[in-house]
Amino acid sequence: MGQRIRPTISAVVQNLKGEILFSLVVSALTMAMSADQAGISDFSEHEITSDRKGIIYARVSSNKQAKEGDSLDNQVSRLREVADELDIVLAGEPIIDDGETGTNFDRDGIQRVFRMAQQDDVEYLLSQNIDRIGRSAAETLYFLHILQSECEVKLITTSGEKDLETIEGLMHTTLMSLLSEVSNEIRTSKAQSTKIRNFLEKKQWSSIYPAAPFGYTTTEDGWLKKDPENSQIVGEMFAEFRDCENYKETRRRINNEYGNVLDGHRVKTLLQNYVYVGAPRIPESWMSDTEMDGIVEDKDLEIVDQEDFIKVQDIIQRKNRKHSTDEDTKDVIDFIEEFDLFTVIQCSDPATLLCDCGCSMVKDGQRDLKGDIKTHEYYCPECDEYRKWPRENEYDRMEVVYTVLNAGNDLLQDGSSFVKYLK
My answer on whether 374 and 246 are in the same domain is no
C-alpha dist (Å) from residue 380 to 128, 301, 313, 350, 385: 44, 30, 21, 11, 5
Read off φ and ψ for residue 35, nearest 5 degrees.
-60, -35
d(CA 255, CA 348) in angstroms, rounded, equals 30
My answer on whether 169 and 278 are in the same domain is no
C-alpha dist (Å) from residue 143 to 4, 153, 183, 413: 10, 11, 20, 55
My answer on whether 370 and 396 are in the same domain is yes
- Exposure b/e, 377-391, CB count within 10 A at least 16 = b: bbbbbeebbbebbbb
Residue 283 buriedness (CB in 10 A; 0-12 / 13-18 / 19+): exposed
Q: Average pLDDT for residues 147-164, to the nearest whole number?
A: 92
Pairing of strands 373-379, 362-370: antiparallel
Contacts of 44 (CB under 8 A, 6+ apart): 160, 161, 162, 163, 166, 168, 169
Q: Average pLDDT for residues 53-80, to the nearest whole number?
A: 85
Q: Average pLDDT for residues 378-401, to the nearest whole number?
A: 72
My answer on whether 110 and 128 are in the same domain is yes
Whether 38 has a pLDDT exceeding 50, the answer reads: no
Answer yes or no: is 195 within a domain: no
Contacts of 32 (CB under 8 A, 6+ apart): none
Answer yes or no: is 149 within a domain: yes
Task: Please state, rounded to an integer, the average pLDDT across all residues of the chain.
Answer: 78
My answer on whether 398 and 354 are in the same domain is yes
- The full length of the chain comes to 423
My answer on whether 367 and 300 are in the same domain is no
The answer to whether residues 97 and 59 touch, using CB atoms and an 8 Å cutoff, is yes
Query: For the chain, what is the domain count?
Result: 3
C-alpha dist (Å) from residue 306 to 136, 218, 296: 44, 23, 15
Whether 341 has a pLDDT exceeding 60, the answer reads: no
Domain end point (choices 323, 344, 363): 323
Residue 354's pLDDT is: 64
What's the sign of the alpha-carbon dihedral 132, 136, 137, 140? Answer: negative
Domain end point (choices 323, 357, 380): 323
d(CA 27, CA 169) in angstroms, rounded, equals 10
Q: Average pLDDT for residues 53-59, to the nearest whole number?
A: 94
Higher pLDDT, 273 or 379: 273
Domain end point (choices 186, 213, 235): 186
The top-scoring range by mean pLDDT among 192-196, 251-255, 375-379 is 251-255
Percentage of the chain with pLDDT > 90?
39
My answer on whether 149 and 54 are in the same domain is yes
Residue 45's pLDDT is: 45
- Tell me which amino acid residue 80 is: R
Higher pLDDT, 365 or 325: 365
My answer on whether 168 and 210 are in the same domain is no
My answer on whether 301 and 318 are in the same domain is yes
Helices marked H in 245-272 — which ranges? 247-258, 267-271
d(CA 114, CA 311) in angstroms, rounded, equals 54
My answer on whether 372 and 295 are in the same domain is no
Q: Average pLDDT for residues 135-154, to the nearest whole number?
A: 89
CATH number at residue 309: 3.90.1750.20
Ordered DSSP codes for 85-121: HTTPEESSSPEEEET--SSSS--HHHHHHHHHHTSTT
Using CA atoms of 173, 175, 177, 180 in order, give the dihedral in degrees to the nearest 10.
Answer: -140
Residue 418's pLDDT is: 42
My answer on whether 271 and 347 are in the same domain is no
Residue 421's pLDDT is: 44
Domain of residue 354, residue span: 332-410
Residue 356's pLDDT is: 62
Higher pLDDT, 9 or 207: 207
Answer yes or no: is 36 within a domain: no
My answer on whether 213 and 316 are in the same domain is yes
